[in-house]
Structure 1
């Protein structure tokens, strides 16, 4: 049995009260409504940023494709003009060669028409992407401003809790420093095993830790043990301090 005077046991119970207060404050700090709103805004901002980057990449691809098609159309037109000029130059006398050139000119005309249709589709897609990028850029700016606002609100809400945590931390340091190392180590081990509650008060025959009533024999044993050392609850194994 770990030696502990009644005064030390009461100090241990006070330390538990401080630790419980710290746990509650930490839980509130981790679950601030402002933090949840900020997380949601951050997530939406990240999504919009990804969509904006994808749209810009697609626009860059469309612009490259647009340039390539314009070059192809210019090359086809240049060749058509060259072939047409040669056909009407009077230098070709063979009917068979003339027919071949006519077929080539017809093919070039169809090729140019196909390229122009494809270019029109690309230009329409570029217009759609320009509009989408403008919309996403505006939305991104709005979300960035919202994130900044929510960050400030979160920091303001957290500042009060941080101050309370600092105060409770100082109180705990003073309480823990007044207890023997062995007693404190035992309390910390039990607290770790029992969801943060290592010591409980015995109130009207009931353990305040597990809320179970002790039998008369168990009560007698707890009171006897607590006179010189630490008593424990038979049900939850927490340190039990008669009050």
Structure 2
């Protein structure tokens, strides 16, 4: 393949822009905010699960407390009725009086036991409420950090994307001045060779693979016409000659 030396030099310009685009793409993928958001989001999800569990526990104990208080109230009402009967003098049979007094005493013990249950449930409910309040604060704090990290990430991505757009336009302008067959070969080699399709021959060394050319290869390059597109024998990339090639 033949191409004017100026076209080959411009190929190095395209290569430089392609390297920059690769660097920008890598920078975009590896922004520290990505890892930060992954960590924050995982922590947020875990805390949200704990918060839901605490809220569920608080709700369950609230219902349990209501039921226990209703049980106490029922026993209290029944005891009040029995005490009223006892105080009214309507019960005159000694056996009935004994039974009624025994029932009142039993209800008093039952009421005391149920009130202890209410207190125990109230303590558990209060603990669940405190835990939910604490977790709510932590979730809100994490959400604030997530919002901040998201804003920083979006700003960084926007800045990178703007630079990518600028470099892409510049590449398109320069690539448009390079013969299509040369550019096609370059793009093919760039895909095969890890993003580098053309390399400068500098001080008898290929800038692509960093290998110094053998004397026979150097002689071939020296003797090749200026418009000949030469290739590195080692990496097969397009080898662009410049005044600094050491030929």
**TM-score bracket for this pair, using the shorter chain length:** 0.7 to 0.9
Q: How far apart are residue 215 of structure 1 and its match?
A: 0.8
Tell me the equivalent position of 1:212: 211
1: distance between equivalents of 2:85 and 2:192?
A: 96
Distance change in 2, residues 1:91/1:146 (3 Å): same
Tell me the equivalent position of 2:23: 24
**8 Å contact from structure 1 (residues 226, 241) kept in 2:** no
CA RMSD of aligned residues (A): 3.6
Tell me the equivalent position of 1:233: 232
Is 1:165 paired with 2:164?
Answer: yes
* CA-to-aligned-CA distance 1:45-104 (integer Å, 9 cap, x gap): 343333323322221122122223223333455556667778996487878xx77x9589
Q: What are the within-5 Å matches in structure 2 for residues 60-79 of structure 1?
A: 60-78=59-77
1: distance between equivalents of 2:109 and 2:235?
A: 88
Distance change in 2, residues 1:77/1:9 (3 Å): same
Q: How far apart are residue 146 of structure 1 and its match?
A: 3.2
Q: Gaps (5+ residues) in structure 1?
A: none
Number of equivalent positions: 240
Q: How far apart are residue 13 of structure 1 and its match?
A: 1.5
SS at match of 2:63: helix
Q: How far apart are residue 39 of structure 1 and its match?
A: 4.5
Question: Scaled by the length of structure 1, what TM-score is found?
Answer: 0.76
Q: What are the within-5 Å matches in structure 2 for residues 85-234 of structure 1?
A: 90=91, 102=102, 106=106, 112-222=111-221, 227-234=226-233
SS at match of 2:200: strand
2: distance between equivalents of 1:112 and 1:232?
A: 98
Distance change in 2, residues 1:102/1:21 (3 Å): same
Q: Gaps (5+ residues) in structure 2?
A: 243-247
Q: What are the within-5 Å matches in structure 2 for residues 40-51 of structure 1?
A: 40-51=39-50
Between stretches 140-149 and 206-215, larger displacement belongs to: 140-149
Distance change in 2, residues 1:159/1:90 (3 Å): same
Q: How far apart are residue 208 of structure 1 and its match?
A: 0.8
SS at match of 2:169: helix
Question: Scaled by the length of structure 2, what TM-score is found?
Answer: 0.75
**8 Å contact from structure 2 (residues 83, 104) kept in 1:** no
Between stretches 135-144 and 39-48, larger displacement belongs to: 39-48
SS at match of 1:4: coil
Tell me the equivalent position of 1:55: 54
Distance change in 2, residues 1:185/1:92 (3 Å): farther
